[in-house]
């Protein structure tokens, strides 16, 4: 049975215990789950009917939260990302090892974003890094409100946080920090 909340704080413990929810991120409504919880990540893929070949962007409170992901040349990239974060930029960074193959899908990189929204970064400070793909069924439009999310996903998620209506918002700009290419 899912819960509808009017604030992010109410869902912190659900996330920490492996729950899956929908929140308004800094850009659009998105599914959220602990990036370190394999079963929660798999559950998001199932609910969304997401292609197993598509990676998820990971939201973090700050660059320090990314240390466990084994970013190659962590210090060098720390200096580079400061020009984009916090902000609506998801940055692809190189990952060393295969500890996160369930997130990398065996690729050598992951995309991360540190949002500019202070309420969201406070939330991430408490939950830790979260995967955050758009809140929609694969190939369908992203939901624009908690009411719309409730109609589609209430039987599939543990919670939905009502963050108001999001109209015409775009997903974050995706930049490959390894090559310097803007992907979208």
Express each pLDDT in 34-84 by its tens digit.
Answer: 999 999 999 999 999 999 899 999 999 999 999 999 999 888 898 889 999
Q: Where are the alpha helices (DSSP H) in the chain?
A: 12-16, 38-48, 74-81, 101-104, 118-127, 146-153
Helix (H, G, I), strand (E, B) or coil at 110: strand
Beta-carbon-side half-sphere exposure of residue 99 (alpha carbons within 13 Å): 11
pLDDT digits (tens, 9 = 90+) for 5-18: 999 999 999 999 99
pTM of the model: 0.94
Cβ of 41: how many Cβ atoms within 10 Å? 22
Phi/psi for 182 (5° steps) reads: -85, 120
CATH topology of domain 3-176: DHBP synthase (3.90.870)
Q: What is the CA radius of gyration of the chain?
A: 15
Alpha-carbon distance of 89 to 20, in angstroms, equals: 23
Q: What is the percent of the chain where pLDDT is above 70?
A: 99
């Amino acid at each position: 049975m899912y819960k509808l909340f009017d604030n992010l704080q109410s869902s912190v413990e659900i996330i920490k215990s492996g729950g899956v929810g929908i929140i308004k991120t800094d850009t659009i409504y998105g599914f959220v789950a602990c990036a370190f919880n394999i079963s929660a990540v798999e559950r998001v893929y199932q609910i969304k009917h997401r292609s197993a070949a598509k990676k998820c962007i990971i939201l973090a409170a700050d660059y320090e939260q990314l240390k466990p992901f084994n970013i190659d040349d962590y210090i060098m990239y720390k200096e580079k990302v400061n020009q984009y974060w916090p902000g609506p930029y998801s940055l692809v960074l190189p990952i060393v090892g295969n500890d996160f193959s369930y997130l990398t899908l065996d690729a050598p990189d992951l995309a991360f974003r540190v949002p500019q929204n202070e309420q969201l970064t406070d939330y991430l400070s408490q939950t830790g890094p979260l995967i955050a793909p758009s809140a929609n069924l694969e190939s369908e439009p992203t939901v624009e409100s908690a009411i719309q999310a409730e109609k589609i996903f209430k039987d599939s998620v543990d919670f939905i946080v009502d963050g108001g209506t999001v109209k015409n918002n775009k997903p974050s700009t995706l930049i490959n920090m390894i090559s310097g290419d803007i992907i979208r």
